[in-house]
């Protein structure tokens, strides 16, 4: 265990925070009471004032932060800014002591994280990619999730201080894994947003109130868990029939195919194209690992025929 690991009592390491924007400021605020103390840095002098007034030490450059702190969080805009903060002329590596842990909370390329970790390692510094999920609201409430890519040693060093602003702290794997997990999480997020716009167009074409639909979606997702409710298996491989998940996921598939087919049918009657709904219908079973087999297809009506039958008997 290096000197950067959290220790009991007053000997906890001094923390540093670089980047006090919409996300960084509320995260750093929750570190003001950290027993080892806090050093902060931001390009805007006015961003430092609330922290220095509350007892944190202000720093003019990342190098000044690294001269004081043993665990340093970085929340800046993009890969270029991260590179400058870590390795620039006034960057962290110009003054960091061996054993210092640098955590990059910005969402950057996983290849950038791996590259910078290698450069840091040559100086005896540990770098972790530690992107966050939960938005500004989660930061303000201290309820973020942080996905950490790095060594076991580095993870143990940051777990306790990160728990000051994160409700969920996970070790995703080696350096780069945190960013890859964040990208997979955000893929779901923004594909879901695109699907939401398609659902809104269907609702609008059907003469429904979109705000009311939004209330229903938020209400039921809070109960069911939304898309995350099916992310409980440790593999995406096809599910064998003797697996306890088989009947559950087949039920999800059957309901999903029925409802997607009905939504597509409604869109057809409203002369509205729903491309994501068609993609979802085509790929749902295989994606769940319970693609329709021959017996399923013989025993159950197809989604198209279900929609047709429903329309004929409506």
Q: Tens digit of pLDDT for each residue in 237-279?
A: 999 999 999 999 999 999 999 999 999 999 999 999 999 999 9
Whole-number Å distance between alpha carbons of 212 and 201: 14
**pLDDT for the residue 215:** 97
List beta partners, residue 104: 74, 129
Quote the DSSP letter at residue 238: P
Residue 182 appears among annotated catalytic residues: yes
pLDDT digits (tens, 9 = 90+) for 183-222: 999 999 999 999 999 999 999 999 999 999 999 999 999 9
Q: Which fold has domain 9-181?
A: Rossmann fold (3.40.50)
The CATH 1.10.1040.10 domain(s) of the chain lie at: 232-312
Q: Name the active-site residue from 12, 182, 215, 258.
A: 182
* Alpha helix (H) residue ranges in the chain: 24-29, 45-53, 62-68, 79-87, 110-122, 135-141, 152-162, 177-205, 210-224, 244-269, 275-288, 294-299, 303-312
The CATH 3.40.50.720 domain(s) of the chain lie at: 9-181
**pLDDT for the residue 131:** 97
b/e map of 199-223 (b: 16 or more CB within 10 Å)?
bebbbeeeeeeeeebeeeeeeeeee
CB-based contacts of 183, cutoff 8 Å, min separation 6: 107, 110
Banded model confidence at residue 293, pLDDT cuts 50, 70, 90:
low
Class of domain 232-312: mainly alpha
| Residue 309 pLDDT greater than 70, yes or no | no
**pLDDT for the residue 274:** 96
Residue of 107, 112, 142, 146 lying closest to 127 (CA atoms): 112
């Amino acid at each position: 265990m290096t000197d950067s690991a959290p220790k009991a009592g007053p000997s906890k390491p001094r923390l540093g925070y670089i980047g006090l924007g919409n996300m960084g400021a509320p995260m750093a605020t929750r570190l003001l009471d950290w027993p080892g103390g806090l050093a902060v840095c931001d390009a805007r002098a006015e961003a430092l004032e609330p922290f220095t007034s509350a007892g944190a030490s202000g720093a003019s450059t990342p190098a000044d932060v690294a001269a004081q702190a043993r665990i340093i969080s970085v929340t800046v805009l993009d890969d270029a800014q991260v590179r400058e903060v870590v390795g620039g002329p006034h960057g962290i590596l110009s003054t960091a002591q061996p054993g210092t842990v640098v955590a990059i909370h910005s969402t950057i390329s996983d290849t950038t994280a791996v590259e910078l970790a290698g450069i840091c390692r040559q100086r005896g510094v540990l770098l972790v990619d530690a992107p966050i999920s939960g938005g500004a609201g989660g930061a303000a409430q201290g309820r973020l999730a942080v996905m950490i890519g790095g060594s076991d040693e580095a993870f143990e060093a940051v777990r306790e201080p990160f728990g000051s602003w994160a409700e969920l702290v996970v070790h995703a794997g080696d350096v780069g894994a945190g960013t890859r997990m964040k990208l997979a999480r955000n893929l779901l997020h923004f594909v879901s947003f695109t699907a939401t716009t398609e659902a809104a167009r269907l609702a609008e074409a059907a003469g429904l109130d979109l705000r009311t639909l939004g209330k229903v979606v938020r209400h039921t997702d809070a109960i069911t868990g939304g898309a995350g409710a099916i992310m409980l298996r440790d593999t995406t491989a096809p599910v064998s029939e003797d697996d306890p998940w088989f009947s559950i996921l087949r039920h999800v598939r059957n309901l999903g195919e029925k409802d997607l087919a009905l939504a597509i049918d409604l869109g057809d009657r409203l002369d509205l194209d729903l491309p994501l709904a068609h993609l979802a219908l085509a790929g749902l079973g295989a994606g769940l690992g319970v693609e329709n087999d021959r017996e399923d297809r013989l025993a159950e009506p197809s989604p198209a025929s279900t929609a047709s039958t429903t329309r004929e008997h409506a």
